[in-house]
Amino acid sequence: QSAVEEELGDLLFAAVNLTRLAGAHPDTVLDRANRKFQARFEALEDLATERGISLPDSSLDVLDGLWEELKRRP
């Protein structure tokens, strides 16, 4: 587990450096990504409710399908 965590830490560090090299601020990029994820997840909850789908009882395939559908929306 600690080896995996070490590699994940390296990956995060590299992502932060790549963000800086691209001229963006890592905090801003992460905040936008979090807001985008939250909005999409709330839309997923709404879509599931509209279709009578119970999220806790849904398979990963069903959830992934809804998620991909939402990603294709403008």
Q: Could you tell me the residue ranges of all domains in the chain?
A: 25-74
pTM confidence score: 0.79
> What is the C-alpha separation between 27 and 39, in angstroms, rounded?
18
- Tens of pLDDT, residues 25-74: 999 999 999 999 999 999 999 999 999 999 999 999 999 999 999 999 98
pLDDT of residue 1: 87
Q: Where are the alpha helices (DSSP H) in 22-59?
A: 26-50
d(CA 70, CA 22) in angstroms, rounded, equals 27
Q: What is the arithmetic mean of pLDDT over 1-16?
A: 96
CA 26 – CA 29 distance, rounded (Å): 5
Confidence of residue 16 (pLDDT cuts 50, 70, 90): very high
